Every structure is written in C-alpha cells, then in structure tokens.
Chains A and B, each alone.
Chain A
Amino acid sequence: MSIKRVAPPATSSTGGLSDKGLKAGSVGLIGAVVIGVSCIAPAYTLTAALGPTVSEVGVQLPAIFLVGFIPMLLVALGYRELNNAMPDAGTSFTWASRAFGPWVGWMGGWGLIAATIIVLSNLAAVAVDFFYLMLSQVLGNPDLADLTTNLPLNIATTLVFIAGACWISYRGMETTKGVQYVLVAFQLLVLGWFAVAAFIHVGNGTAFAATAITPEWFNPFAVGSFSAFTAGVSLSIFIYWGWDVTLTMNEETKDPEKTPGRAATVTVLVIVIIYMTIALATLSFAGIGEEGLGVGNPDNQSSIFAVLSGPVMGPFAILMSLAILSSSAASLQSTFVSPARTMLSMGHYRALPTKFGAISPKFKSPSYATIVAAIAAAAFYVITRTTSENALWDTITALGMMICFYYGVTAMACVWFFRAEAFTSARAFFFKFLAPLLGGVILLVMFFKTATDSMDPAYGSGSSVGGVGMVFILGMGVILLGVVIMIVMSRIRPEFFRGQVLERQGSAPAAVENKHAEQ
C-alpha cells in the first residue's frame, strides 16, 4: 500500500522559522537598523530628492525634511497593524480589497506597483549617472562623465542595468548580511565625509556661496505657499520611504517585543541626523542660487551629489560615486522583488491574469511578474527620458505623488478595516484609528493638491506635453492606465471584481483569522 502525503513545512523545516520563512531570532538591534537604513538608501534618496525639494521650498529644506516624517510615521503605524492582522504578499492591494472591496483594492495595488516601477527606473538612471561619473574619475577623463547625457547611450546603459537587476532577482539571489552592513556603513561614512568637507570649505571661505544657517530654515511656516509646502512634503515622503520596514519586523528579530520599536527609533534618528547634516552642509556650501553650483540651478536638480561631490570632496569624490552607485544598484535589485510579489499576489487572487502568479520551479521566484516589472520599468524610463527634458526630476516628483496615493489608500483601509475595534481601547484608538486617519488624510490631501498643481506646465522641471505639466501626465497617466487595465480585467476575469475571491471584511475577530481566500 502506498502512502503519499506532503508533510507540512512547519514540521519538516530544518530550524526555527518564522511565519515569513525567515530565520527566527536572527536580527538584533544593529541588524534591524542596518536593514532600515538600507531600505531607505539615504545616499540615493538625497541625491535624487534634495535638488527638487529645494526648488520647491528653498532654504526651508531642513524644516520640510522634518515635517515630511510625520505623515510617514502616522501611516506606518497603521501599516504595522494591518501587517500583523493580515500578513499578505499583496499588502496594500489585499488590505484595501478587504476593507473597501475589489475596485479600490485593485487601485491600491496598482499604486504600489506603479510607485515601485517608477523608483526602479529612477534608481537605474541614478546608477547609470554615477557609473559614468565614476568611470571618468577612475580614468581621469572628465569627458566620460558627459556620456550619460548622450541620450541613446544613456537609455541603452540604463536598460542594461535594469536587465541585470531583473536577472539577479529572477534567480532569487539576495544581498547578504555582510554585504548590507558594508554598503550601509560605507554610505553613512561618505555622507558624513561630504558634510564635514562642506563645512570646512564654508569655514575656510572656499565655499561656492557660503550661506549662514538661520533658525528660519527650520520653520515650515516660512515656506512661500501651500502649493510649495505640499510639493515639498510629498517629495520628503519619498526620502523616508523604506523606514517602516523596521516597524513590520517581527519573529526574525531577537526580541520581537522590543527590537522593532527600538530599531525604528534608532533608524529614524540616524536618518534625520544624516538628512539634517547634509541639508545644512549643502545649503551652507552652495546656497540656493540658480547659477553654477547653486542647489536651485535646474541643471543640478536631477542628481545633486554628481555636481557637488567634486568641488566639496576633491579627489575623494570618487567615494561618493562608489557609495551611490553601490547603494542604488543594491536597491535596484531588491526593489525588483516588490512589484513582482505584488503582481504575483494579484495573479494569485485572479485580479491579474494567472500567468502573473507563476513561480519559477528552478529558482522559486516570481517568474512572469519579475519580467513584466523589468519591461514596465524600462518602458517607463524610455518614455520619460524621450519626452521630458529633465526626466529624473519629474519622475521623483511623480513618485512622491504615487507614494502619497497608495499610502493614503492603505491608511484609510486600516481605519475602515478596524472600525469596529477603534473605540475598544486607548491603544486601538490611537494606532488603528487616529494615527492612520490623520496620516491618510494628510497624504491624500498632498496627492490631490500635487495633482492639481502639476497641471501647470511650469511645475517641476518645467517640461510639458500639450500645455499640461509633465509631472501631471506621468502621475495621472499611470493612474489612468491602471483604471483602464482594471476595467479590461473586470471584463475578462470578473470573479475578483465581483468580490468572490477576496471578500470584504470588517474587524470582527473571526474574520481576521481567515487570512486567505479559499482557492
């Protein structure tokens, strides 16, 4: 007689594994902070977002960087509650579907996918800029750095970077602990070096446009207009994007009670100190003028360190190139996993064609979804690069908008999902209701305000198509594309959209037990 059965993974696993399939109890406080900092990738976010933010808010950059953390914190608290109640690969997609039904859920998932696709194309572009910059620094030939402005060559190199990261991700290869420690330590060291060198120049009177720091820089109310304020905040949401990874850690930490909270606190302190130091150093050294090295110069917006690291750090500028190239390349590879898994999850729940749910038998990674993510990122880059004069600047602004959208939807999903529990205890009231409600409202206001403002052709880099601002076209175009695909999907595969796959749930305890739809 034959006996055939599949042993459940829990009983046949080799060691103590958490629900997430991660080795339980393997991450201490320092490890968790390293993970947090690596997900934020401060060297990359600063070089990409510092210029565009200054162009919106001027010297109030430090104030906006501080204010931008507040909605991120509020939403992340709600995100953590949802993650604990319904751990799911679809995250925003699944949670919004459970709370608001299939249509809003689908768009929440689309927002997350779009944000990660946009950041992929931007990461690849930044990596390429610094790749050529480093090449020129290594070979001592400044002409090489200009190769990145050669459009066909730039596009070709970027596509190679995207393809390479896709291939690594498809093969299921991951950055190891040792590499991550080195990358993070190197980034922080080089950023610190940059700040110290900039202040030394200011002290010696060799700075480009030495500007004295005043308390006004820290006053968010000194920002000229509400439009500039929202634009600045939606950009600074982007610089904290990734921080919430520390809050959602659980069994993989050595002390699940204390480590995540402490790690989140230490990470945000480290990041705020770095951001403040770099913001003050950059503004004191270069000022916000629109000439030469000034941070307000439109030519310097897409990548501030590419311009300033040479004058500030001298021959050691190559370290900055290496730090940004390595951190953006590592982020490029790990970020591929996210849209792939969200699409996999949507395929799994039949919100996308089932092909998206395919897993490679050899590498055990999402196969179809990973390739689709790469094609989408490549297409997005080619389109923005060929239509916008300053593609990186516009994509970062559109990205800020997209993060506001899906984070806002997620926060509202948290409020609605837990509505029955909201007033049962002070803790539930704060974490499941008040914090996500405030965060969600702030982000959605940011989203709508940025969306309407960006219709102005002068918005962002000033690129426009048919008299409408490029940022609006990118942001709304992506959302509209999502609506179109959603409607097509609802026609060809209606089960999900009839609510038959992921049922709406309230916050009744029994409903929380049922994590997955029956397949």
Chain B
Amino acid sequence: MRYVVGYSANARGYDAVNLAVALARGHNASIDLVLVLPEGSPFSGIYPPQAGYDEILDQQAAEWLDEGLAMIPDDVQARAHIRRGDSEASVLIDAVADLGADLLVIGATSSGLFRRFTVGSVAGSLLHSAAVPVALAPQGYHRTDPITRYSCGIGTRPGAQNLLTFAVALSAVKETPLRLVSLLTLDGENEEDAVNAATVRAADAMAATVSGVHAPIPEIVVARGRTIEESVDRLDWEDGEVLLIGSSRLAQNRSIFLGSTANRILRSLPVPMIVVPRDYVPEGTSQTSANDPSGEAGQS
C-alpha cells in the first residue's frame, strides 16, 4: 500500500502527515510526501526576469520536505517529492496515478475558526475529482498511533456495497474494530420505526457485502438528532477513530463528490474522515495485498 500526502510546511500539512502515519501503521503502507510548487507562467509579465528564483524555491522545498520526513517515525517508510503545476489539486491527482497510490491524505484548511473541518479550495477540488479515497485530517490532528476503530457511515440510499467492502478490508488487516454508523435526523415522530429500519438496512448491507467471507459482525449504531450535526455530536468517538463515508451519488463514476450531508457531517466531526468514491474498487482488497509492500520493490 502506498499513501500520497498533499504536504505543505504548515499546520495543515503536519495534520496530514500525522494522519498518514496513523493510517500507514495499521497497514504496513509507505508514505509519499508530495509538495506542490507553482509552475511559473512565462506570461506572468514578471520583470526583470529572475531565472534563479526556482533554485531558491527548490532548496526551500527540500528543507520543508526534510522537516516532513523527520516527523515520520522510523517504522514507516517514506519518500518525498517536489512537483510543479498550476493547480495543487490536479498535481496531487497526477501524483496518485503516477505513484500507483491507494489513498490520498490531506489536511483540512486551518482557517476555520469554530469548526474543525472547513474544506479549503484544494481539498474541495480534490473531493470533486479524486479517483482514490481521500483522507481528511481535522485541524490539529496529533495522533500517530495506529487507528483504533473504523466507523462506516451508512446512508438511507442503497449502493453502499463498495464502501462497505473497502471498510471491511481496512478493518480486517489488523483486526481493528468496525462499526456501522447510521445518522438520522428525526422530528419526533415514529422515531423507533426509523431507528429500526436504519438498523435493518445496515445489517442487510453488511450481510450482502460479507456473504461468503469470514468477517466479524460489526457493531451497528444509529445516531439520532434534530440535525445531522447534532447526531454526529451525540455519537461517542474514540481518539483513534476514523469515519469512512461514500461519495455522493451525484459523482461521476470513480470520482469523489462530497454531498451536502457529508459536508455537514464533516463540520461537526471530531475525528478524521475518509471519503470513498462511489464505485471505488480497491485493487486487491484481499488481505494478502494489504500486507505486501509490492509498490516498494527495490526500496528496501
């Protein structure tokens, strides 16, 4: 497994590195820090021309990457890359494709004052166009210990199969606990029926996903609140937990689109979130590939 981190030498980038380490430790994955430098346009009208500026920029970028690498503990393999391009999002997407990465890790922007997550423009465009799952580190994410529990958000709409398959595979690697989370907004009428229906839906989805596969039965939790934010608040979250959610059904095949519900979850969520493209089928969801650092041939 190979994780690409959209790195920058600020709080946002450090959050992403920490999350990548936490995720990688459970899965024997290696980390690629990618720092995106702007690609100067010859049409920018900059005068006098300063040909050597990019050398200074490259030198600074290398120093920043050294700092990032120093944050990564010795038990996790890591490499660093400087790439150039006009759009940070599209450079990261290309890097994921070039490096054959399985996951892209980014930090939420650090400008949100009251909310842990505010999706910045780069994260926003990534969530609209990435073909692999995108992990979002909340502001100030410090943990680097392995993930202690995966929560998988089950919506009211059908089509959660791929997400569940991904979640089961993730949790199976180190036998990390998995729970299915259904977030309901209720207006006080027929609450019990709605809760029961949600529980049944989650159980059915799970049964369909793991039919014929040996997997522990996950806990199913239904969270209730008047708003999505409230139901997220009412759930208990472990420090080392990660929430997995599927991308909106508006998404084009194989790319992520963060729906309005997911956006609202994001705002009140205290833990990292991994957004999985609707039709994402990991290459080799089986346990063997998860333990095989095949992408690292020649690296050790």
Contacts and interface: CB of A to CB of B under 8 A. Distances in A.
Contacts of A245: 47-49
**Chain A interface extent, by class:** 35 or more
Contact of A335 (B47, B53, B80, B83): B47
Given A87-B52, A245-B47, A515-B52, A22 B42 contact: yes
Nearest to A179: B43
A511 B41 CA distance: 31
Most buried by B among A249, A337, A515: A337
A432 interface: no
B44 A334 contact: yes
B8 interface: yes
B82 interface: yes
Contacts of A91: 48-50
A135 interface: no
A34 B75 CA distance: 53
A97 interface: no
Interface string A34-59: 11001100000000000000000000
A35 B42 contact: yes
B46 interface: yes
B42 A252 contact: yes
A403 to B, nearest CB: 11
B77 interface: yes
Interface string B65-80: 1100100101111111
Nearest to B67: A361
B69 A6 contact: yes
A151 B38 CA distance: 39
Contact of B45 (A4, A27, A39, A249): A39
Given A21-B84, A338-B48, A177 B41 contact: yes
A90 interface: yes
A427 interface: no
Interface stretch (B56-64, B127-135, B144-152, B162-170): B56-64
Most buried by A among B38, B48, B64, B76: B48
A102 B118 CA distance: 48
B173 interface: no
Interface string A46-87: 000000000000000000000000000000000000010011
A188 interface: no
B79 A176 contact: no
Contacts of B50: 88-91, 338, 341-342, 345
A90 B52 contact: yes
Contact of B49 (A14, A83, A90): A83
B190 interface: no
Contacts of B46: 174, 334, 337-338
B300 interface: yes
B235 interface: no
A12 B57 CA distance: 15
A6 B44 contact: no
Interface string A316-349: 0000000000000011001101100110110010
A164 interface: no
B193 interface: no
A183 B72 CA distance: 48
Contacts of B300: 1, 3
Contact of A7 (B13, B38, B82): B82
Contacts of A330: 45
Interface in A400-418: none
A150 interface: no
Given A244-B48, A338-B47, A4 B69 contact: yes
A364 interface: yes
Most buried by A among B12, B37, B41: B41
B262 to A, nearest CB: 25
Interface string B197-236: 0000000000000000000000000000000000000000
A384 to B, nearest CB: 22
B40 interface: yes
A176 B45 CA distance: 9
A258 interface: no
A3 B65 CA distance: 14
Given A22-B39, A515-B55, A2 B76 contact: yes
Contact of A20 (B37, B54, B83): B54
A14 B94 contact: yes
Interface residues of B, number: 53
Given A6-B66, A9-B61, A14 B91 contact: yes
A17 interface: yes
B289 interface: no
B60 A175 contact: no
A196 to B, nearest CB: 27
B82 A12 contact: yes
Contacts of B55: 88-89, 515-516
B124 interface: no
A254 to B, nearest CB: 11
B299 A3 contact: yes
Interface string A415-431: 00000000000000000
A6 B42 contact: no
A13 B83 contact: yes
Contact of B54 (A19, A94, A361): A19
B143 interface: no
A175 B42 contact: no
B213 to A, nearest CB: 33
A362 interface: yes
Interface in A185-201: none
Interface in A501-516: 515-516
B159 interface: no
Interface in B255-275: none
Interface string A1-33: 111111111001110010111110011000100
Given A21-B37, A252-B42, A515-B52, A4 B78 contact: yes
B113 interface: no
A31 B43 contact: yes
A323 to B, nearest CB: 15
Contacts of A461: none
Contacts of B13: 361
B297 interface: no
Nearest to A342: B50
29 contacts: A3-B300, A4-B79, A7-B80, A14-B85, A14-B91, A14-B98, A20-B53, A23-B42, A26-B42, A27-B42, A31-B43, A35-B45, A38-B45, A87-B52, A88-B55, A89-B56, A174-B38, A175-B44, A180-B43, A180-B45, A248-B51, A334-B46, A342-B50, A344-B56, A361-B10, A362-B8, A364-B38, A515-B55, A519-B59
**A-B interface, 6 closest residue pairs, ranked by CB to CB distance from nearest:** A87-B51, A88-B52, A21-B54, A89-B53, A334-B45, A174-B44
